[in-house]
Structure 1
Protein backbone atom coordinates (compact mmCIF):
# COMPACT_ATOMS: atom_id res chain seq x y z
CA UNK A 1 0.00 0.00 0.00
CA UNK A 2 1.18 3.53 -0.75
CA UNK A 3 -0.14 6.94 0.29
CA UNK A 4 1.54 8.57 -2.69
CA UNK A 5 -0.48 10.69 -5.11
CA UNK A 6 0.39 10.51 -8.80
CA UNK A 7 -0.39 12.87 -11.68
CA UNK A 8 -0.23 12.37 -15.42
CA UNK A 9 1.41 14.94 -17.70
CA UNK A 10 -1.85 16.88 -18.06
CA UNK A 11 -2.16 17.22 -14.29
CA UNK A 12 1.48 18.23 -13.99
CA UNK A 13 1.10 20.83 -16.72
CA UNK A 14 -1.85 22.32 -14.86
CA UNK A 15 0.20 22.71 -11.67
CA UNK A 16 3.26 24.25 -13.33
CA UNK A 17 0.99 26.65 -15.19
CA UNK A 18 -0.59 27.67 -11.87
CA UNK A 19 2.94 28.27 -10.59
CA UNK A 20 3.71 30.61 -13.49
CA UNK A 21 5.96 28.21 -15.39
CA UNK A 22 5.10 27.79 -19.06
CA UNK A 23 4.57 24.11 -19.93
CA UNK A 24 6.20 24.78 -23.32
CA UNK A 25 9.51 25.34 -21.48
CA UNK A 26 9.40 21.82 -19.99
CA UNK A 27 11.29 19.00 -21.69
CA UNK A 28 9.95 16.17 -19.51
CA UNK A 29 8.52 15.17 -16.15
CA UNK A 30 10.39 12.46 -14.22
CA UNK A 31 8.95 10.89 -11.08
CA UNK A 32 11.62 10.12 -8.49
CA UNK A 33 11.61 6.75 -6.76
CA UNK A 34 12.98 8.03 -3.45
CA UNK A 35 10.72 8.86 -0.53
CA UNK A 36 7.84 7.05 1.13
CA UNK A 37 5.44 9.88 1.98
CA UNK A 38 5.25 12.57 -0.70
CA UNK A 39 5.51 12.20 -4.48
CA UNK A 40 8.34 14.11 -6.14
CA UNK A 41 8.79 14.97 -9.82
CA UNK A 42 11.83 16.46 -11.51
CA UNK A 43 10.73 18.97 -14.13
CA UNK A 44 13.45 18.97 -16.76
CA UNK A 45 13.97 22.33 -18.49
CA UNK A 46 16.81 23.86 -20.54
CA UNK A 47 16.54 26.93 -18.29
CA UNK A 48 17.16 24.84 -15.17
CA UNK A 49 15.39 21.90 -13.59
CA UNK A 50 12.68 22.31 -10.99
CA UNK A 51 11.34 19.92 -8.35
CA UNK A 52 7.64 19.44 -7.71
CA UNK A 53 6.51 17.84 -4.46
CA UNK A 54 2.94 16.58 -3.96
CA UNK A 55 1.45 15.78 -0.58
CA UNK A 56 -0.26 12.39 -0.09
CA UNK A 57 -3.85 11.67 -1.00
CA UNK A 58 -5.98 13.66 1.50
CA UNK A 59 -7.89 10.47 2.32
CA UNK A 60 -4.72 8.58 3.23
CA UNK A 61 -4.19 7.78 6.94
CA UNK A 62 -1.35 9.83 8.43
CA UNK A 63 0.04 10.66 11.87
CA UNK A 64 -1.37 13.60 13.78
CA UNK A 65 1.51 15.93 12.98
CA UNK A 66 1.63 14.97 9.30
CA UNK A 67 -1.18 17.23 8.09
CA UNK A 68 0.00 20.33 6.23
CA UNK A 69 3.64 19.30 5.91
CA UNK A 70 3.98 21.04 2.53
CA UNK A 71 3.36 24.39 4.22
CA UNK A 72 5.97 23.60 6.87
CA UNK A 73 8.55 22.65 4.23
CA UNK A 74 7.84 25.91 2.42
CA UNK A 75 8.40 27.84 5.65
CA UNK A 76 11.64 25.95 6.30
CA UNK A 77 13.13 26.82 2.90
CA UNK A 78 12.08 30.45 3.03
CA UNK A 79 13.54 30.86 6.52
CA UNK A 80 16.90 29.31 5.61
CA UNK A 81 17.49 30.47 2.02
CA UNK A 82 20.90 32.14 1.81
CA UNK A 83 22.00 30.70 5.14
CA UNK A 84 22.37 27.02 4.23
CA UNK A 85 22.08 25.27 0.83
CA UNK A 86 18.34 24.73 0.34
CA UNK A 87 16.02 24.97 -2.68
CA UNK A 88 14.40 28.28 -3.56
CA UNK A 89 10.60 28.19 -3.44
CA UNK A 90 9.06 29.09 -6.81
CA UNK A 91 5.44 28.56 -5.84
CA UNK A 92 3.58 26.80 -3.04
CA UNK A 93 0.01 25.64 -2.65
CA UNK A 94 -1.78 23.81 0.14
CA UNK A 95 -0.78 20.41 -1.26
CA UNK A 96 2.17 21.04 -3.57
CA UNK A 97 5.51 22.82 -3.62
CA UNK A 98 7.52 23.88 -6.68
CA UNK A 99 11.16 24.67 -6.04
CA UNK A 100 14.55 24.86 -7.72
CA UNK A 101 16.60 21.69 -8.16
CA UNK A 102 19.93 21.62 -6.37
CA UNK A 103 23.10 20.01 -7.74
CA UNK A 104 24.30 16.69 -6.40
CA UNK A 105 22.82 13.37 -5.40
CA UNK A 106 21.99 12.05 -1.95
CA UNK A 107 24.87 11.06 0.29
CA UNK A 108 23.03 7.78 0.91
CA UNK A 109 22.99 6.89 -2.81
CA UNK A 110 26.67 7.52 -3.51
CA UNK A 111 28.77 4.41 -3.72
CA UNK A 112 32.11 6.08 -4.40
CA UNK A 113 34.55 6.69 -1.60
CA UNK A 114 33.75 9.94 0.22
CA UNK A 115 35.81 11.79 2.77
CA UNK A 116 33.25 11.13 5.47
CA UNK A 117 35.11 12.79 8.38
CA UNK A 118 35.51 16.02 6.41
CA UNK A 119 31.89 15.92 5.24
CA UNK A 120 30.67 15.33 8.80
CA UNK A 121 32.59 18.41 9.97
CA UNK A 122 31.09 20.41 7.11
CA UNK A 123 27.64 19.10 8.01
CA UNK A 124 28.11 20.12 11.63
CA UNK A 125 28.92 23.65 10.53
CA UNK A 126 25.82 23.83 8.33
CA UNK A 127 23.64 22.58 11.18
CA UNK A 128 25.09 25.26 13.45
CA UNK A 129 24.09 27.88 10.86
CA UNK A 130 20.61 26.35 10.66
CA UNK A 131 20.15 26.59 14.41
CA UNK A 132 20.97 30.31 14.33
CA UNK A 133 17.60 30.73 12.62
CA UNK A 134 15.21 31.33 15.50
CA UNK A 135 11.49 31.94 15.93
CA UNK A 136 9.11 33.48 18.46
CA UNK A 137 7.61 30.23 19.82
CA UNK A 138 7.90 26.43 19.88
CA UNK A 139 6.42 23.42 18.10
CA UNK A 140 5.31 22.31 14.67
CA UNK A 141 4.19 25.22 12.45
CA UNK A 142 1.34 23.15 11.05
CA UNK A 143 0.05 22.36 14.56
CA UNK A 144 0.33 25.83 16.04
CA UNK A 145 3.13 27.23 18.20
CA UNK A 146 3.22 27.58 21.99
CA UNK A 147 5.26 29.68 24.37
CA UNK A 148 7.46 26.99 25.98
CA UNK A 149 9.45 24.05 24.65
CA UNK A 150 8.32 21.78 27.50
CA UNK A 151 4.68 22.33 26.52
CA UNK A 152 5.42 21.83 22.84
CA UNK A 153 7.38 18.62 23.32
CA UNK A 154 4.81 17.09 25.65
CA UNK A 155 2.17 17.77 22.99
CA UNK A 156 4.39 16.09 20.37
CA UNK A 157 4.75 13.01 22.57
CA UNK A 158 1.02 12.98 23.31
CA UNK A 159 0.26 13.06 19.58
CA UNK A 160 2.43 10.07 18.71
CA UNK A 161 1.18 8.08 21.71
CA UNK A 162 -2.36 8.88 20.62
CA UNK A 163 -1.49 7.75 17.10
CA UNK A 164 -0.21 4.44 18.49
CA UNK A 165 -3.56 3.86 20.18
CA UNK A 166 -5.51 4.99 17.10
CA UNK A 167 -3.65 2.62 14.76
CA UNK A 168 -3.42 -0.26 17.25
CA UNK A 169 0.37 -0.26 17.50
CA UNK A 170 1.78 -2.14 20.47
CA UNK A 171 4.39 -0.18 22.43
CA UNK A 172 7.24 -1.69 24.45
CA UNK A 173 6.18 0.32 27.53
CA UNK A 174 2.76 1.65 28.63
CA UNK A 175 1.96 5.02 27.09
CA UNK A 176 1.57 6.68 30.49
CA UNK A 177 5.02 5.46 31.51
CA UNK A 178 6.56 6.96 28.37
CA UNK A 179 4.67 10.22 28.96
CA UNK A 180 5.94 10.19 32.54
CA UNK A 181 9.52 10.23 31.30
CA UNK A 182 8.79 13.56 29.63
CA UNK A 183 6.95 15.00 32.63
CA UNK A 184 9.86 14.03 34.89
CA UNK A 185 12.15 16.18 32.74
CA UNK A 186 9.96 19.24 32.58
CA UNK A 187 12.59 21.39 34.27
CA UNK A 188 15.28 20.21 31.86
CA UNK A 189 13.05 20.92 28.86
CA UNK A 190 12.07 24.30 30.30
CA UNK A 191 15.73 25.25 30.17
CA UNK A 192 15.40 25.58 26.39
CA UNK A 193 14.59 29.26 26.07
CA UNK A 194 15.26 29.88 22.36
CA UNK A 195 13.19 28.33 19.58
CA UNK A 196 15.69 27.22 16.95
CA UNK A 197 14.66 25.88 13.56
CA UNK A 198 15.13 22.09 13.58
CA UNK A 199 15.10 20.03 10.37
CA UNK A 200 14.68 16.73 12.28
CA UNK A 201 15.21 14.48 9.24
CA UNK A 202 18.87 14.98 8.40
CA UNK A 203 19.84 11.42 7.59
CA UNK A 204 22.12 10.76 4.60
CA UNK A 205 19.15 10.45 2.25
CA UNK A 206 18.28 14.13 2.74
CA UNK A 207 21.80 15.48 2.24
CA UNK A 208 23.01 16.19 -1.30
CA UNK A 209 26.70 15.87 -2.17
CA UNK A 210 28.63 16.72 -5.31
CA UNK A 211 32.40 16.77 -5.88
CA UNK A 212 33.00 15.93 -2.26
CA UNK A 213 31.01 18.89 -0.89
CA UNK A 214 27.53 19.21 0.60
CA UNK A 215 25.30 20.96 -1.93
CA UNK A 216 21.90 20.72 -0.31
CA UNK A 217 19.81 19.94 2.76
CA UNK A 218 16.40 18.87 1.48
CA UNK A 219 13.01 17.50 2.63
CA UNK A 220 12.41 20.06 5.36
CA UNK A 221 8.80 18.97 5.87
CA UNK A 222 9.44 17.50 9.35
CA UNK A 223 10.81 20.78 10.68
CA UNK A 224 9.78 22.39 13.94
CA UNK A 225 10.89 25.18 16.27
CA UNK A 226 12.59 23.70 19.30
CA UNK A 227 15.72 22.43 21.01
CA UNK A 228 18.85 22.11 18.80
CA UNK A 229 19.73 18.86 20.60
CA UNK A 230 16.77 17.22 18.85
CA UNK A 231 18.56 17.63 15.51
CA UNK A 232 21.19 15.09 16.50
CA UNK A 233 18.68 12.24 16.54
CA UNK A 234 18.48 11.95 12.75
CA UNK A 235 22.09 13.08 12.35
CA UNK A 236 23.15 9.99 14.30
CA UNK A 237 20.27 7.65 13.45
CA UNK A 238 20.88 4.23 15.06
CA UNK A 239 24.41 5.39 15.85
CA UNK A 240 26.38 7.51 18.26
CA UNK A 241 27.66 11.07 18.25
CA UNK A 242 30.89 11.41 16.31
CA UNK A 243 33.74 13.80 17.02
CA UNK A 244 33.78 15.23 13.48
CA UNK A 245 30.12 16.29 13.59
CA UNK A 246 30.51 17.84 17.03
CA UNK A 247 33.71 19.64 16.00
CA UNK A 248 31.91 21.19 13.05
CA UNK A 249 28.91 22.10 15.19
CA UNK A 250 31.01 23.68 17.89
CA UNK A 251 28.80 22.99 20.92
CA UNK A 252 28.16 20.05 23.28
CA UNK A 253 25.03 17.89 23.18
CA UNK A 254 23.11 16.95 26.33
CA UNK A 255 22.91 13.15 26.41
CA UNK A 256 19.77 12.94 28.55
CA UNK A 257 17.82 15.20 26.23
CA UNK A 258 19.21 13.33 23.23
CA UNK A 259 17.83 10.06 24.61
CA UNK A 260 14.46 11.70 25.19
CA UNK A 261 14.29 12.99 21.61
CA UNK A 262 15.46 9.64 20.27
CA UNK A 263 12.48 8.04 22.02
CA UNK A 264 10.22 10.47 20.17
CA UNK A 265 11.64 9.72 16.71
CA UNK A 266 11.71 5.96 17.28
CA UNK A 267 8.08 6.10 18.39
CA UNK A 268 7.22 7.89 15.14
CA UNK A 269 9.12 5.29 13.10
CA UNK A 270 7.41 2.44 14.95
CA UNK A 271 3.89 3.85 14.59
CA UNK A 272 4.05 5.25 11.04
CA UNK A 273 4.62 1.80 9.54
CA UNK A 274 0.98 0.84 10.17
CA UNK A 275 -0.82 3.68 8.35
CA UNK A 276 1.74 3.48 5.55
CA UNK A 277 1.10 -0.23 5.13
CA UNK A 278 4.71 -1.37 5.36
CA UNK A 279 5.13 -5.14 5.15
CA UNK A 280 7.57 -7.85 4.09
CA UNK A 281 11.00 -9.01 5.32
CA UNK A 282 12.70 -5.61 4.99
CA UNK A 283 9.99 -3.94 7.06
CA UNK A 284 10.21 -6.67 9.70
CA UNK A 285 13.97 -6.16 9.89
CA UNK A 286 13.60 -2.38 10.25
CA UNK A 287 10.82 -2.78 12.81
CA UNK A 288 13.06 -4.94 14.99
CA UNK A 289 15.88 -2.40 14.67
CA UNK A 290 13.65 0.51 15.65
CA UNK A 291 12.16 -1.40 18.58
CA UNK A 292 15.59 -2.40 19.85
CA UNK A 293 16.84 1.19 19.82
CA UNK A 294 13.60 2.50 21.33
CA UNK A 295 13.89 0.12 24.26
CA UNK A 296 17.54 1.02 24.75
CA UNK A 297 16.75 4.75 24.97
CA UNK A 298 13.79 4.14 27.28
CA UNK A 299 16.04 2.15 29.56
CA UNK A 300 18.64 4.95 29.45
CA UNK A 301 16.05 7.34 30.83
Structure 2
Protein backbone atom coordinates (compact mmCIF):
# COMPACT_ATOMS: atom_id res chain seq x y z
CA UNK A 1 0.00 0.00 0.00
CA UNK A 2 1.28 3.48 -0.87
CA UNK A 3 0.46 6.24 1.59
CA UNK A 4 0.05 9.74 0.22
CA UNK A 5 -0.51 13.10 1.83
CA UNK A 6 -4.27 12.65 1.89
CA UNK A 7 -4.89 8.91 1.85
CA UNK A 8 -3.77 5.41 0.89
CA UNK A 9 -3.56 3.62 -2.46
CA UNK A 10 -3.14 -0.12 -2.97
CA UNK A 11 -3.29 -2.57 -5.85
CA UNK A 12 -6.03 -5.22 -5.61
CA UNK A 13 -7.57 -7.89 -7.82
CA UNK A 14 -11.26 -8.67 -8.16
CA UNK A 15 -12.73 -11.26 -10.50
CA UNK A 16 -9.43 -11.40 -12.36
CA UNK A 17 -9.27 -7.64 -12.93
CA UNK A 18 -6.28 -5.51 -11.91
CA UNK A 19 -7.69 -2.68 -9.82
CA UNK A 20 -6.57 0.09 -7.50
CA UNK A 21 -8.28 0.99 -4.25
CA UNK A 22 -7.87 4.56 -3.07
CA UNK A 23 -8.89 5.49 0.47
CA UNK A 24 -9.36 9.17 1.24
CA UNK A 25 -9.79 10.50 4.76
CA UNK A 26 -11.29 13.79 3.59
CA UNK A 27 -14.86 13.32 2.30
CA UNK A 28 -14.61 16.48 0.18
CA UNK A 29 -11.58 15.12 -1.66
CA UNK A 30 -13.23 11.71 -1.99
CA UNK A 31 -16.33 13.23 -3.55
CA UNK A 32 -14.31 15.53 -5.83
CA UNK A 33 -12.30 12.61 -7.21
CA UNK A 34 -15.37 10.48 -7.91
CA UNK A 35 -17.20 13.42 -9.50
CA UNK A 36 -14.24 14.36 -11.68
CA UNK A 37 -13.59 10.81 -12.90
CA UNK A 38 -17.22 10.42 -13.89
CA UNK A 39 -17.16 13.75 -15.74
CA UNK A 40 -13.96 13.02 -17.67
CA UNK A 41 -14.74 9.43 -18.68
CA UNK A 42 -14.92 8.92 -22.43
CA UNK A 43 -13.87 12.37 -23.62
CA UNK A 44 -10.30 11.63 -24.71
CA UNK A 45 -8.39 12.16 -21.47
CA UNK A 46 -7.14 8.76 -20.25
CA UNK A 47 -8.37 8.15 -16.71
CA UNK A 48 -9.19 5.10 -14.61
CA UNK A 49 -12.67 3.63 -14.86
CA UNK A 50 -14.66 3.79 -11.66
CA UNK A 51 -15.60 0.32 -10.47
CA UNK A 52 -17.08 1.04 -7.06
CA UNK A 53 -17.46 4.11 -4.87
CA UNK A 54 -18.02 3.68 -1.16
CA UNK A 55 -17.72 6.21 1.68
CA UNK A 56 -14.01 6.84 2.08
CA UNK A 57 -13.01 4.42 -0.70
CA UNK A 58 -12.82 4.48 -4.48
CA UNK A 59 -12.13 1.34 -6.51
CA UNK A 60 -10.90 1.92 -10.06
CA UNK A 61 -9.11 0.17 -12.88
CA UNK A 62 -5.32 -0.01 -12.82
CA UNK A 63 -3.86 1.99 -15.70
CA UNK A 64 -0.84 1.03 -17.82
CA UNK A 65 2.38 2.99 -18.02
CA UNK A 66 5.27 4.38 -16.03
CA UNK A 67 5.10 7.49 -13.89
CA UNK A 68 6.35 10.43 -15.91
CA UNK A 69 8.65 11.50 -13.09
CA UNK A 70 10.49 8.17 -13.46
CA UNK A 71 11.35 8.39 -17.18
CA UNK A 72 14.46 9.81 -18.85
CA UNK A 73 14.71 13.64 -18.85
CA UNK A 74 14.10 14.15 -22.58
CA UNK A 75 11.17 11.72 -22.53
CA UNK A 76 9.74 13.58 -19.54
CA UNK A 77 9.82 16.85 -21.52
CA UNK A 78 7.94 15.20 -24.39
CA UNK A 79 5.43 13.80 -21.91
CA UNK A 80 4.87 17.14 -20.20
CA UNK A 81 4.28 18.82 -23.54
CA UNK A 82 1.78 16.13 -24.52
CA UNK A 83 0.07 16.31 -21.15
CA UNK A 84 -0.44 20.06 -21.47
CA UNK A 85 -2.58 19.51 -24.57
CA UNK A 86 -4.76 17.18 -22.46
CA UNK A 87 -4.96 19.84 -19.77
CA UNK A 88 -6.20 22.30 -22.38
CA UNK A 89 -8.87 19.80 -23.35
CA UNK A 90 -9.94 19.48 -19.71
CA UNK A 91 -10.28 23.24 -19.38
CA UNK A 92 -12.52 23.34 -22.44
CA UNK A 93 -14.99 20.84 -20.97
CA UNK A 94 -18.24 21.85 -19.35
CA UNK A 95 -17.65 21.75 -15.61
CA UNK A 96 -19.70 19.19 -13.66
CA UNK A 97 -22.00 20.50 -10.98
CA UNK A 98 -20.70 20.16 -7.46
CA UNK A 99 -16.99 20.82 -7.92
CA UNK A 100 -15.33 22.72 -5.05
CA UNK A 101 -14.29 26.34 -5.48
CA UNK A 102 -10.75 27.40 -6.29
CA UNK A 103 -8.18 27.93 -3.54
CA UNK A 104 -8.43 31.32 -1.82
CA UNK A 105 -5.26 33.03 -3.02
CA UNK A 106 -5.71 36.08 -0.81
CA UNK A 107 -5.88 33.75 2.20
CA UNK A 108 -2.76 31.92 0.99
CA UNK A 109 -0.88 35.23 0.89
CA UNK A 110 -2.03 36.17 4.41
CA UNK A 111 -1.07 32.78 5.83
CA UNK A 112 2.31 32.89 4.11
CA UNK A 113 3.15 36.30 5.46
CA UNK A 114 1.91 35.41 8.94
CA UNK A 115 4.12 32.30 8.87
CA UNK A 116 7.21 34.36 8.05
CA UNK A 117 7.93 33.00 4.58
CA UNK A 118 10.75 34.52 2.48
CA UNK A 119 9.84 37.80 0.69
CA UNK A 120 7.92 37.24 -2.55
CA UNK A 121 6.16 39.66 -4.93
CA UNK A 122 2.72 38.37 -3.93
CA UNK A 123 -0.21 39.83 -5.85
CA UNK A 124 -3.32 37.91 -6.88
CA UNK A 125 -3.57 38.20 -10.70
CA UNK A 126 -6.83 39.13 -12.34
CA UNK A 127 -8.76 35.90 -12.67
CA UNK A 128 -10.27 34.46 -15.82
CA UNK A 129 -13.70 32.77 -15.80
CA UNK A 130 -13.44 29.50 -13.85
CA UNK A 131 -13.02 26.18 -15.62
CA UNK A 132 -12.81 22.49 -14.74
CA UNK A 133 -9.38 22.08 -13.10
CA UNK A 134 -7.53 18.93 -12.05
CA UNK A 135 -5.86 20.65 -9.11
CA UNK A 136 -2.58 18.71 -9.02
CA UNK A 137 -1.41 18.33 -12.62
CA UNK A 138 2.19 17.15 -12.57
CA UNK A 139 4.56 14.40 -13.62
CA UNK A 140 3.86 12.33 -10.50
CA UNK A 141 0.20 12.03 -11.51
CA UNK A 142 0.82 11.21 -15.18
CA UNK A 143 1.59 7.78 -16.67
CA UNK A 144 3.52 7.33 -19.93
CA UNK A 145 4.02 4.41 -22.32
CA UNK A 146 4.66 3.96 -26.05
CA UNK A 147 5.15 7.67 -26.64
CA UNK A 148 1.92 8.89 -25.09
CA UNK A 149 0.22 9.79 -21.84
CA UNK A 150 -1.68 6.68 -20.75
CA UNK A 151 -3.33 8.02 -17.59
CA UNK A 152 -4.05 11.15 -15.60
CA UNK A 153 -4.40 10.16 -11.94
CA UNK A 154 -5.30 11.66 -8.55
CA UNK A 155 -8.30 13.90 -9.12
CA UNK A 156 -9.10 14.56 -5.45
CA UNK A 157 -8.17 18.27 -5.79
CA UNK A 158 -10.46 18.86 -8.78
CA UNK A 159 -12.16 22.24 -8.58
CA UNK A 160 -13.46 25.23 -10.49
CA UNK A 161 -10.59 27.61 -11.03
CA UNK A 162 -8.56 29.91 -13.23
CA UNK A 163 -7.03 28.00 -16.17
CA UNK A 164 -3.74 29.91 -16.24
CA UNK A 165 -3.36 29.46 -12.51
CA UNK A 166 -3.44 25.70 -13.04
CA UNK A 167 -1.08 25.75 -16.02
CA UNK A 168 1.34 27.97 -14.10
CA UNK A 169 1.30 25.60 -11.13
CA UNK A 170 2.14 22.64 -13.36
CA UNK A 171 4.83 24.55 -15.24
CA UNK A 172 6.55 25.97 -12.16
CA UNK A 173 6.52 22.66 -10.31
CA UNK A 174 7.95 20.81 -13.30
CA UNK A 175 10.58 23.49 -13.94
CA UNK A 176 12.01 23.05 -10.45
CA UNK A 177 13.31 19.69 -11.74
CA UNK A 178 14.21 20.77 -15.27
CA UNK A 179 13.93 24.41 -16.47
CA UNK A 180 12.97 23.22 -19.95
CA UNK A 181 9.68 22.01 -18.52
CA UNK A 182 8.24 25.50 -18.19
CA UNK A 183 8.23 26.28 -21.90
CA UNK A 184 7.26 22.70 -22.79
CA UNK A 185 4.08 22.96 -20.74
CA UNK A 186 3.27 26.49 -21.88
CA UNK A 187 3.67 25.67 -25.56
CA UNK A 188 1.91 22.32 -25.21
CA UNK A 189 -1.04 24.11 -23.64
CA UNK A 190 -0.94 26.87 -26.25
CA UNK A 191 -0.13 29.93 -24.14
CA UNK A 192 2.67 32.45 -23.86
CA UNK A 193 5.01 31.51 -21.00
CA UNK A 194 4.94 35.14 -19.84
CA UNK A 195 1.18 34.83 -19.23
CA UNK A 196 1.92 32.26 -16.51
CA UNK A 197 4.56 34.18 -14.58
CA UNK A 198 2.24 36.41 -12.49
CA UNK A 199 0.91 33.26 -10.81
CA UNK A 200 4.29 31.81 -9.83
CA UNK A 201 4.75 33.61 -6.47
CA UNK A 202 1.33 32.33 -5.38
CA UNK A 203 2.36 28.75 -6.11
CA UNK A 204 5.71 29.22 -4.40
CA UNK A 205 3.95 30.50 -1.28
CA UNK A 206 1.42 27.66 -1.38
CA UNK A 207 4.13 25.01 -1.61
CA UNK A 208 6.19 26.66 1.14
CA UNK A 209 3.15 26.58 3.44
CA UNK A 210 2.61 22.89 2.63
CA UNK A 211 6.18 22.00 3.55
CA UNK A 212 6.05 24.20 6.66
CA UNK A 213 2.91 22.43 7.87
CA UNK A 214 3.49 18.87 6.64
CA UNK A 215 7.23 18.58 5.94
CA UNK A 216 9.66 17.05 5.51
CA UNK A 217 12.00 19.72 6.96
CA UNK A 218 14.67 19.24 4.30
CA UNK A 219 12.16 20.09 1.57
CA UNK A 220 11.25 23.29 3.41
CA UNK A 221 14.93 24.21 3.75
CA UNK A 222 15.55 23.64 0.04
CA UNK A 223 12.51 25.65 -1.03
CA UNK A 224 13.32 28.45 1.40
CA UNK A 225 16.76 28.77 -0.18
CA UNK A 226 15.16 28.93 -3.63
CA UNK A 227 12.69 31.62 -2.59
CA UNK A 228 15.37 33.75 -0.93
CA UNK A 229 16.94 33.96 -4.39
CA UNK A 230 13.62 34.88 -6.09
CA UNK A 231 14.11 37.72 -8.62
CA UNK A 232 12.99 41.11 -7.34
Of the three residues 116, 122, 127, the one matched with 2:76 is 116
2:154 pairs, out of 206, 209, 219, with 219
Which residue is 1:258 aligned to? 200
**What residue is the counterpart of 1:172 in the other structure?**
117
* Distance apart, 1:256 and its partner CA: 1.1
TM-score by length of 2: 0.78
Cα distance, 1:113 vs structure 2: 6.9
Matches within 5 A, 1:1-301: 31=1, 33=2, 35-45=4-14, 47-56=16-25, 68-83=28-43, 84-110=45-71, 115-135=75-95, 141=100, 145=101, 153-154=104-105, 157=108, 161=111, 170-172=115-117, 181-182=122-123, 185=124, 188-189=125-126, 191-192=127-128, 194-231=129-166, 232-237=168-173, 239=176, 240=179, 242-252=182-192, 253-273=195-215, 283-295=216-228, 300=232
Given that 2:47 and 2:152 are in contact with CA atoms closer than 8 Å, whether structure 1 keeps it comes out as: yes
Q: Cα 1:296–1:226, aligned 2, differ >3 Å: closer, same or farther?
A: farther
Aligned equivalents of 2:214 and 2:144: distance in 1? 28
Structure with higher strand content:
2
Q: Contact (CA 8 Å) 1:233, 1:265: kept in 2 or not?
A: no
Query: CA 1:113 to 1:260, structure 2 compared with 1: closer, same or farther past 3 Å?
Result: closer
Q: CA RMSD in A?
A: 3.3
TM-score when scaled to structure 1?
A: 0.62
Q: How many residues align?
A: 224
Query: Aligned partners of 1:75 and 1:208: how far apart in 2?
Result: 21
Retained in 2: the 8 A contact 1:200–1:234? Answer: no
Larger displacement relative to structure 2 (80-89 or 256-265): 256-265
Q: Which has the larger radius of gyration?
A: 1
1:259-301 CA-partner distances (Å, limit 9, x unpaired) = 223322332333233xxxxxxxxx332121232345556x75x
- Residue 242 of structure 1: how far off its partner (Å): 2.8
Shift of 1:91: 2.1
Matched residue of 1:68: which SS?
helix
- How many angstroms apart in 2 are the aligned matches of 1:227 and 1:133? 14
Measure the CA separation in 2 of the matches of 1:102 and 1:43: 13
Report how far residue 88 of structure 1 moved: 1.7
Q: How far does residue 46 in structure 1 lie from its aligned partner after superposition?
A: 5.9
Q: Distance in 2 between matches of 1:86 and 1:55?
A: 18
Q: Structure 1 pair 97/55, CA: closer, same or farther in 2 (3 Å)? A: same
Show structure 1 runs of 5+ residues with no match: 1-30, 57-65, 274-282
Contact 2:122 2:201 in 1 (8 A): no
